[in-house]
């Protein structure tokens, strides 16, 4: 949508952000209404620790958005990885979601320097390095 067709783009962006925040708050409230036994069973079904599941829900659905961009900058095909090793990709998403270095990662991804810098802060660094080597060893 162009700026011409959006008379107040900043206001619209604020409204959209607020709507997303409200939706996330409702999702958190739904999770909190579950009793602990149900919550623990869901975590078990997902093969994840209940504390990690709680933290993932708190972070929201976009908390691992950096991972596909990182994979792309490293030349790793995310779709192929997801088909070949879905549990590994899911674990990498969990690690990314819980990462405390989002600002650094986002800057490096935006600058196109993530491939050179991720080793210093990325919780998935060793996994990414092994994937990168495995991917290149097949060529």
Q: Which residue has the higher pLDDT, 59 or 86?
A: 86
pLDDT of 76-123, one tens digit each? Answer: 999 999 999 998 998 898 899 888 899 999 999 999 999 999 999 999
Report how many helices (DSSP H) and strands (DSSP E) the chain contains, helices first: 9, 0
Question: Mean pLDDT across the chain, nearest whole number?
Answer: 81
Could you tell me if residue 6 is left (phi over 0), alpha (psi between -120 and 50 degrees) or otherwise beta? beta
Q: In this predicted structure, what is the pLDDT of residue 76?
A: 93
């Amino acid at each position: 949508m162009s700026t011409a067709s959006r008379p107040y783009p900043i206001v619209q962006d604020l409204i959209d952000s607020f709507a997303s925040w409200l939706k996330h708050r409702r999702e958190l409230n739904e999770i909190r209404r579950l009793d602990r036994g149900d919550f623990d069973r869901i975590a078990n079904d997902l093969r994840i620790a209940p504390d990690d599941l709680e933290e993932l829900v708190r972070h929201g659905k976009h908390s691992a958005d950096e991972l596909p961009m990182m994979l792309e900058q490293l030349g790793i095909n995310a779709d192929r990885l997801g088909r070949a090793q879905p549990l590994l990709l899911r674990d990498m998403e969990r690690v990314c979601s819980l990462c405390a270095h989002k600002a650094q990662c986002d800057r490096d991804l935006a600058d196109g320097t993530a491939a050179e810098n991720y080793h210093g802060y990325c919780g998935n660094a060793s996994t990414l390095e092994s994937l990168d080597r495995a991917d290149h060893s097949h060529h």
